[in-house]
Structures are given as structure tokens and as C-alpha cells.
Amino acid sequence: MKPIIPILLFLAAAVAGCQKQTDWLDARVNRSTIVPSRLSDYQSMLDADVMFQNYGYLARVSSDNYYVTEADFLSATTDLERSSCTWAQDVLGTRVPTEWTRMYLIIATANICLEGLEKLSAGDGTDIQRKQVKGTALFYRSMAYYNLLQHFCQPYDPSSAASLPGVPLRFSADVNERLGRGTIAQVYEEITGSLEKAIPLLPANVALKTQPSQNAARVQLARAYLATEQWAKAEVISGQVLADNPVLLDFKKLNSAASFSFPTFETGNPEVIHYAEGTAVSLMTSNKMICDPVLFNMYAGTDLRRTILYRQFNGMPIFKGQYTGRATPFAGIAYNEVYLIHAEACARQGKTTAAMQTLNQLVATRHSAQFSPLSAGSAQEALDKIVSERRKEMPYTGSTSWEDLRRLNRDPRYQRTLTRKIGTATYTLAPGSKRYTFPIPLLEVQLTGIEQNERP
């Protein structure tokens, strides 16, 4: 086997591991591909744990919603945690992080399934089953490309997206294929185009929320529209999700004394649309998950998130509000985000009343009975409130905080300089810094010759 693209080895190992656990795939491995043979094989590949687990931690650790003590920093399990926490220039060194390998594993799996669908015999599976496999593969591939963009490409700017490098777009199961990076615009066009195709192919409802539904694809599409400043499209597609009258948890009915506030995957959180998990990291576990004081002070006295999302330890607020219902980080899609996307899209278009109506539908469920609805005298004031609520509502969901920092830093009204003081050292990350973009893994650059990101 020629030593090209370490993802192949990861994919082979992942499939082999799933085969031992569930005995569902009779796979054979040659120099460049793994070849299943039945529709049920493809569905099983897309249902495997690797598709919705271990979505990485670089963005969460690099964000600013948590406070790091010197003792916790020094006791971090890996150098990668410390280097991402302090926005080091050589943050990766020779490491190939999960944020790269896991996403290209998902892309490779999706491509195998999409190629295999074209070769199935006519009698293998129903039309509905085939559509679901295709829609699922398109959804996962799009989500993986979106995550890659948020880590390894500069933030979207309409004036430069057509010229700045994206990430390699792979549409073939042949992982030995050498590709360039294309542009940011091209990757976003692939994401939105594939999700638009996926929506009608997917079921409206799924038995397990680890499988994507139509609304999961709609929200992922709305995320992409928000990131690319297509406000009208973001409003429409998020509005389609809200038209289903989704259930929001009433925080007044939750147990603030519980170790974890929300239902688990097994018991069912009604706000979760698509379930996915991030990678646990020692800097953000147990009593180390200290909320940044600036963020915690943003919660008003009537805001139940102060006790539902956090518990007190040694006088400090410790986050306990994962939508997984346990210590595992949540990296999926939930209805609370849909309300925030729709509200922002409305405000960006000057629709102040609609923006505040949507925002208050969400925020009212997060406050005590003494809560008074939020109001805004202008679209700008509405946007200010929505940006604040996004930070308070989803402080540690996937890479959401990191994504918001990247895109909002383009607007002087929302720019923030991040600062960490650890011992006698002070570290900062300025708005617009190229350290908001992680380097392409060195091994990938060496093997493929693709362009490296600047990270001065």
C-alpha cells in the first residue's frame, strides 16, 4: 500500500471495529477502497457510531466561555489542549487532529455509500430506503465539510470567498486521489447544494435521532446560510422548521438540583433534532468546567439558566447543561438554535417585530414567571439582544461559540479580544487574527502538497 492519506487507515480500522461489534459488514479492503455489497451495508455504515461521535474539541477549548486556572492548565492531559487554549502559533505540531481525520472519515464513508448506490441491483431495497441512504450520505458529507470550514479555512467574507482556499472536496471513494483546496465559496456551494438535495430524500421523522431527518438537514442548511450572510434564505429554511411547532423545554419544570439538567439520549430530549457528541477534554471536565465570569454575569436574575446550566463549586459556576444529559459534550442540532437563527435572520433584514417574537418564544421558556418579554426599538437593538442570547443559550454546544466569534469579528460592533491569564503569562487573540484558522495537519500537507494556512 502506498503511504497516501492516513484517512484510509482510519477508515479501515473504524469499519473493522464496527464489524467486530455488530457483525454487519462483510467488507474487503484493497489499495484504495472498502467495498460493501448491499443496501443494508450502506445503511449500517451510516448508522455507525463513528458518524455521530468524537467531533473534536479544538474549537471549544479555543473559545472564551470558560475560565482556566493555572492548576487546571498545567494538569491538562495533552499538549494539544494547552496549545489550543493559548492560541499557540504551532498549535498542532505534527499531530493530525480529530477535527480533520473524523470529518474526512465521514466524507469517505458517505462517498462509498453514494457510489455504491449507483451499482446496486434493481431489487435491493425499496425506493424509500434508497432515498434515505442517499439523503443521509449527503447530509453527513455536508456537515463534515461545514465543520472543516469552521476550523481550517478563514471566516467567510463575500468579498474574498471566491479566492481564499477552502478544503479538498472529495466526491470519490478513492482516498488516494490527490486534490487541491479549491475555494471557500466552492465548499459552501457544495454544502448548500447537497443539503437542498438531501431534504426531500430524508424522512420527516426518524426512529433514532442519530439518524438525520428533514429538519436536521434544514437546520444544517440554515447554519450555512447564516455563515454566508444569506439572511433571507436562512429565515425561510429555519421558518420551515419552526412551522412544525417544535417543543421547547420549560426550564421552570426542570430540576435545578440534578447533577445533569437535561434528559439523556435514552430518555429523550425533545429539543434535540439530531444527536451528536463532541470529544471530552480534560480542561473542560467535571469541576474544571468553570464558566467565564463575564458570561455568567450576563444572565439576569430571572434567568433560570443560572441554575439549570450551572452548579456552584467553591463559589464558582460549573457548567452541567450538556444536551447529552451527561458529561459528554453535545455537538448536535437542537431547536433552541433554530429560534436563534430565525431571529437573527429576521433582524438582519430589518424585521424587528418578527425577530423579537421569535426570540421571546425561546427566552420565555428559560426564565421564571417574573420574566418580562424582551423588546427592541430597532433592528440593530434586536440583533444586539439575539447575539447576547446566542452566547448565553449555547455556550459550549459543538463549535458554535467559535463559529460566532469568527463571523461576528468581521463587524466592529461585536468584536472581542480574547484574553487568558495563566500564572504570570497573558495570552490574547485579537479580532480577525489568522489564528482563528487552524493549520492544515502537517502530514496532509507533506503527502498531498496542498497549501498550508498562514498562522503568524
CA angle 279, 139, 147 (to 5 degrees): 40
Tell me which residue has cell 454566508: 228
* pLDDT value, residue 298: 98
Contacts of residue 316, defined as CB under 8 A and 6 or more positions apart, other chains included, come to: 67, 290, 291
pTM: 0.92
Mean pLDDT of all residues in 60-66: 97
pLDDT at position 328 over 50:
yes
Give exposure, 327-353, as e/b (b: 16+ Cβ within 10 Å): ebbbbbbbbbbbbbbbbbbbbbeebbe
pLDDT digits (tens, 9 = 90+) for 193-220: 999 999 999 999 999 999 999 999 999 9
pLDDT at position 64 over 50:
yes
pLDDT at position 5 over 70:
no
Q: How far apart are CA 225 and CA 219, in angstroms?
A: 10
Tell me which residue has cell 454546544: 397
* pLDDT value, residue 36: 85
Tell me which residue has cell 451510516: 46
- Name the DSSP class of 103: H
pLDDT digits (tens, 9 = 90+) for 23-44: 323 333 333 445 688 999 999 9
Beta bridge partners of 272: 334
- Name the DSSP class of 451: P
* pLDDT value, residue 35: 62
pLDDT digits (tens, 9 = 90+) for 99-126: 999 999 999 999 999 999 999 998 999 9
DSSP 3-state assignment of 123? coil
- Name the DSSP class of 120: S
Mean pLDDT of all residues in 234-251: 97
**1 confidence band (pLDDT: 50, 70, 90):** very low
Helix or strand holding residue 167 (H, E): none
pLDDT at position 15 over 50:
no
Give exposure, 170-188, as e/b (b: 16+ Cβ within 10 Å): beebbbeeeeebebbbbbb
Mean pLDDT of all residues in 416-425: 97
Beta bridge partners of 313: 316
What is the per-residue DSSP string for 11-74? HHHHHHHHHHHH------B-SS-B---SHHHHHHHHHSGGGTS---SHHHHHSSSEE--HHHHH
The bridge status of strand 290-291 relative to strand 66-67 is: antiparallel
pLDDT digits (tens, 9 = 90+) for 358-409: 999 999 999 999 999 999 999 999 999 999 999 999 999 999 999 999 999 9
- Name the DSSP class of 2: -
Average pLDDT score, the chain: 92
* pLDDT value, residue 175: 73
Q: How far apart are CA 171 and CA 177, in angstroms?
A: 10
* pLDDT value, residue 37: 80
pLDDT at position 138 over 80:
yes
The grid coordinates listed for 67 are: 475560565
CA nearest to 294, candidates 73, 70, 84, 67: 67
Q: Are 135 and 192 in contact (CB under 8 A)?
A: no
